[in-house]
Amino acid sequence: MIFSKYGINARIAPAILCAVPFLVLYYWYLSPYLSGMFSFFGDLKIISDISFPVLLIFLLAQINRHVSKVLFQKFYFKEELYMPTTNFLLYSDNHYTKQYKDDFRDKVFTDFNIKLPKEPEEMKNELFARQRIVEAMSLVRKKCEKSKILLQHNIEYGFFRNLIGGSVIAAPLSLIFTIYCYVFIHNTTATISLGLCFILFSLLILFSKNLITEYGKAYAKILFQEYILLKI
């Protein structure tokens, strides 16, 4: 899965970007230190210079995914209850017409035998309506999984979700590494590089909700479009 098109673009790529502050510190400080320490082992230093980034990227890919799920799925979207794919189907939301929502519900009932609450039921119990929509949308996504355009939007959404998830860890560590380089290593290039990393990762966190919501909306629109067009 991690070497699929989605895995490479939405998980590995964000992990590489989040690994930058670690790699800056490694190559400017740890690598020269290890070079002197293990010089008598010959190729051990070369092996460590290759294996460390690879292992770090795979580790960050897992961590970023976990953090992003906790941050967005639980904190922002309340276990998908407030994701755009859920909000758009509520009658209280104005993005789609009532007729479109009725047609969507009819198709869901035909395909999965799941009856989504109509407007009067939604007004009485919105939480239940959201829960039913979440249950139905998991099946809708499964039915549309072969769509290439949906995959592309899923990759874009996953890329930013995982990048922002990784930024939660990378930003504070970049700040710590920046201070450490400035105080102890006295390397201007490394200090500036790490400082820029801190600023960029902090900006991603600052605008995280706006970014992930906009990409989530774009994904939701394509998902609805692809599902409605399915004949079977």
Instruction: Name the least confident of 35-44, 56-65, 145-154.
Output: 35-44
**Quick check: 2 pLDDT over 80?**
no
Instruction: Name the least confident of 68-72, 139-143, 172-176, 220-224.
Output: 68-72
pTM confidence score? 0.89
Axis-axis angle for helices 126-143, 98-112 (nearest 10): 60
Q: What is the mean pLDDT of the chain?
A: 90
At residue 45 the predicted structure's pLDDT band, cuts being 50, 70 and 90, is low
Whole-number pLDDT of residue 1: 67
**Quick check: 181 pLDDT over 70?**
yes
Helical segments of the chain, H only: 5-6, 13-25, 31-37, 44-68, 84-87, 98-112, 119-124, 126-143, 148-180, 188-206, 208-229
Token pair belonging to 28: 């400017």
Which residues, in sequence order, are CB contacts of 85 under 8 Å at separation 6+? 133, 137, 216, 219, 220, 223, 224
